[in-house]
Amino acid sequence: MASPHPLHISVENADELLNGGALGSGAVLEIQSSATELGTYAAISGTGSTPTIPLVSGTRSYTGYNPGGDWATWYRVRYRSSDSTRVSVDWTGDTLWYTRAGHAPFQVGAEEGGSICSIYDVEQRLTGTVSPNDRELLLEFIADATADLMGYCERRFIRNPLSGSTTFLFDVARSTTVLRVPEGIATATQLEVATTSQPESAGTYTIVTAADWFLRPIAHERTYGWPATEIHLTDMPTGTVSQFSAGYNTARLTGALGWAAVPADVAGIGVNVIIRRYQARGSGVATALGSEDFGARILRWTSPEEREKLNWYRRATAA
């Protein structure tokens, strides 16, 4: 069943693109979709779809629609002239739900769309109408807050990929039966191991028998909303694998990392951070929580109470 979503697309330089020396008057955004990231892309279609969106002078924020999309759909965009004789750089996108030319194909995902909070929640907190250009600015602030909060906590609050699964490689410092994944494990369908270091692609692995590995903490022992953060190998294997061997890329997991959904309190802090930054734009005001010893990250635009909450999520660092 189709699960269509809006696509919020950011265009920083519409006037330059519309210039006769670039793509000229009538230039458009072009949107294509695919069922998989590396699959075959085609123009989005269906009633109400926007396979192309005319660029407008002075406008930096655009909304596209794909009535036939679903959670797993991948998108890419580019700019082209009205007669299709000139195009921008290769088909590109962004890992966020809004996009600029110059990055990788992207998914839309849930309301947050790959960000720490939703643009809708931010706009609801603001009084008055938000202009398209201010919306583009808010989307930039959301991207900044997403990087800041996840970087500060060293947690992947956003599912990666947003829908479906992919493979992840892990280095193992010493042979062990426990693989720690502090970023979080949203889903896991297959585990493979190697006895020696493997290359970044391909490699030779042995599939671990499904009954021989477990996600931990077990579901009912996890803190509410948290994902599993460890993979344990059984002490009574039915297959041939009994440990994670030391080396580079010696463990390979198929699934998705991170939280299944952004924690509500973290998303709320994200909204507060963006509102404060938006309201203080141009004033030179910044709320900082003070520096930490040894050059650790400084988190700005948060209150002491919010930082206390974030510290609860923050990954513990060995002394």
The pLDDT of residue 235 is 94
Residue that finishes a domain, picked among 64, 93, 109: 109
103 with 172, same domain: the answer is no
Higher pLDDT, 145 or 163: 145
The answer to the question of residue 271 being in a domain is no
Helices 132-153, 264-279: inter-axial angle, 10-degree rounding? 130
DSSP track, 106-124: EE--STTTTSSS-HHHHHH
Encoding tokens for residue 88? 């921008």
Whether residue 131 is predicted with pLDDT greater than 90 in this model: the reply is no
pLDDT in tens, 50-108: 999 999 998 888 889 999 887 778 888 889 999 999 988 666 543 333 444 445 788 77
Residue that finishes a domain, picked among 201, 226, 257: 257
The pLDDT of residue 313 is 93
Chain mean position to CA 67:
22
The pLDDT of residue 2 is 62
The answer to the question of residue 57 being in a domain is yes
The pLDDT of residue 69 is 81
Amino acid letter for position 76: R
245 with 176, same domain: the answer is yes
104 with 193, same domain: the answer is no
Which residues are bridge partners to 307 per DSSP?
none
Residue-averaged pLDDT of the chain: 85
Higher pLDDT, 300 or 24: 24
Encoding tokens for residue 315? 């990954």
The stretch 137-149 carries a mean pLDDT of 90
Encoding tokens for residue 288? 């900082």
Whether residue 209 is predicted with pLDDT greater than 90 in this model: the reply is yes
The stretch 19-30 carries a mean pLDDT of 92
pLDDT in tens, 161-203: 888 889 999 999 999 999 999 999 999 999 999 999 999 998 9
pLDDT in tens, 211-266: 999 999 999 999 988 999 999 999 999 999 999 999 999 999 999 999 988 999 99
% of the chain at pLDDT higher than 70: 86
Residue range(s) defining the domain that contains residue 43:
5-109
The answer to the question of residue 128 being in a domain is no
Number of separate domains in the chain: 2
The pLDDT of residue 170 is 98
The pLDDT of residue 282 is 64
12 with 83, same domain: the answer is yes
The answer to the question of residue 89 being in a domain is yes
100 with 186, same domain: the answer is no
Residue that finishes a domain, picked among 81, 109, 137: 109
The answer to the question of residue 130 being in a domain is no
The answer to the question of residue 33 being in a domain is yes
The answer to the question of residue 196 being in a domain is yes
190 with 98, same domain: the answer is no
Cis link prior to 67 (omega < 30° from 0)? no
The answer to the question of residue 137 being in a domain is no
Beta strands in the chain (DSSP E): 5-10, 28-34, 42-43, 52-54, 61-66, 74-80, 98-99, 106-107, 166-172, 178-193, 206-207, 213-216, 228-233, 247-257
The pLDDT of residue 1 is 57
The structure's pTM equals: 0.71
